Amino acid sequence: MSKSNTSFIAILSVLLLLLLGLVGYQYYQITELKDSLSISKSKMIENEKVQAELNQDYQSALDNLEELRGTNADLNALIDNQKAELTAQKKKVSGLIWTKGELDKARAELEIFRTQAAGYAAQVRELSAKNADLTQVNTQLSVSKTQLETAVANQTETINSLNTEKKELTELKASMEKKNSFLSDKVSVGQVVKVNDINVKAYKLRNNRDAKETTRAKNTDYLNACIKTESNLVVEPGDETFYIRLISPGGETISDSSKGAGVVTNVVDDSEVRYTMSTTNSYSNEVLETCIDYDPGYVLPAGNYTVEAYNKGYLVGSSSFFLK
């Protein structure tokens, strides 16, 4: 065999070996690709299976909640909130299946979803049962209320009848009391000792403690109030108290409890009247003249002063005086 033929055979053998190697490599790659496609297809089928279970459970949960929907606004609002939470949970599980490819976590979350859906349905059923019980109680209360209203209406009719009789008796009693009060007032007024004259003078103390009458407010150290009563033969002889009220130019009663001031009740209108000072004297049905001094303890304002005298709760006299 010639040298040229031997070289050709050698080259041809090398090419044949390379071709066989290339064919073997291509076969290996095709086999790996088939295996990879087979695995991907299996995962896809498994993912679709889990997604189908999720979709079925989700729709079943929504249907169960909708069956429990009624006329109670609070329960319906709870159902809407639960549906929103289930939708969020479904979205989370779907993300684990398709976006992250974490099928095991997706299955675990699917079990949580199922438990959550069952819990929501049980909660709504429990609340619905309680609501039904409350409705029954309300119905019973409504019946009891109607019965009570009927009983009250009957009692009201009886009370109105009694009130009519009571009103007639009250009017009769008031008429009799008015007559008795009129007679009593006549007797009470008859027991009052009226004051015909009230004279108040202002005095200033000199250095030797002698007093000098003054008409100026700023010079006044004390006031001297004198009253003169009328005779009253109806009054039983004994002590009589007269309450003197000094009213300042500003309309306020000069009143200091530490200086003998207090309160007397006006029997005419049952009002309380503050007085400035009081004097108690023995009365023997004749004209009584008595005086009382009053030290205000401060500089009196200038102006016109009103003086009132009370006996046994009645205003029995009044006058006025002026300080410059």
7 and 40 fall within a common domain: yes
136 and 225 fall within a common domain: no
Long-range CB pairs of 302-306, under 8 A, 24+ apart, other chains included: 302/216, 302/217, 302/218, 302/249, 303/217, 303/248, 303/249, 303/250, 304/249, 305/200, 305/246, 305/247, 305/248, 305/249, 306/246, 306/247
This prediction has a pTM of: 0.45
165 and 276 fall within a common domain: no
132 and 236 fall within a common domain: no
| Domain termination residue (choose one: 143, 162, 190) | 190
Q: How many domains does the chain divide into?
A: 2
Enclosing domain of residue 120: 1-190
167 and 220 fall within a common domain: no
- The pLDDT of residue 250: 93
31 and 112 fall within a common domain: yes
| CATH code for the domain of 247 | 2.60.40
Average pLDDT per consecutive 10 residues, the chain (324 residues; last block may be shorter): 69 74 63 50 67 76 77 79 78 69 64 74 77 75 78 79 78 61 53 92 86 92 93 90 94 92 90 93 93 92 95 92 94
87 and 213 fall within a common domain: no
183 and 219 fall within a common domain: no
| Domain termination residue (choose one: 190, 212, 236) | 190
Q: Identify whether the C-beta of residue 198 lies closer than 8 Å to the C-beta of residue 321.
A: no
161 and 242 fall within a common domain: no
- CA trace torsion 185, 191, 196, 199 (10° rounding): -110
Alpha carbon distances (Å) from 105 to 92, 94, 161, 296: 10, 11, 82, 97
Q: Identify whether the C-beta of residue 189 lies closer than 8 Å to the C-beta of residue 316.
A: no
Rounded Cα–Cα distance for residues 311 and 36 (Å): 123
Neighbouring-strand partners of residue 282: 239
160 and 214 fall within a common domain: no
Give the ranges where the chain is alpha helix by DSSP (H): 3-67, 73-94, 103-190
| Domain termination residue (choose one: 190, 223, 244) | 190
pLDDT digits (tens, 9 = 90+) for 126-176: 877 777 777 787 777 777 778 878 777 888 887 887 787 788 777 767 765
Question: SS3 of 232, please?
Answer: coil
225 and 139 fall within a common domain: no
186 and 199 fall within a common domain: no
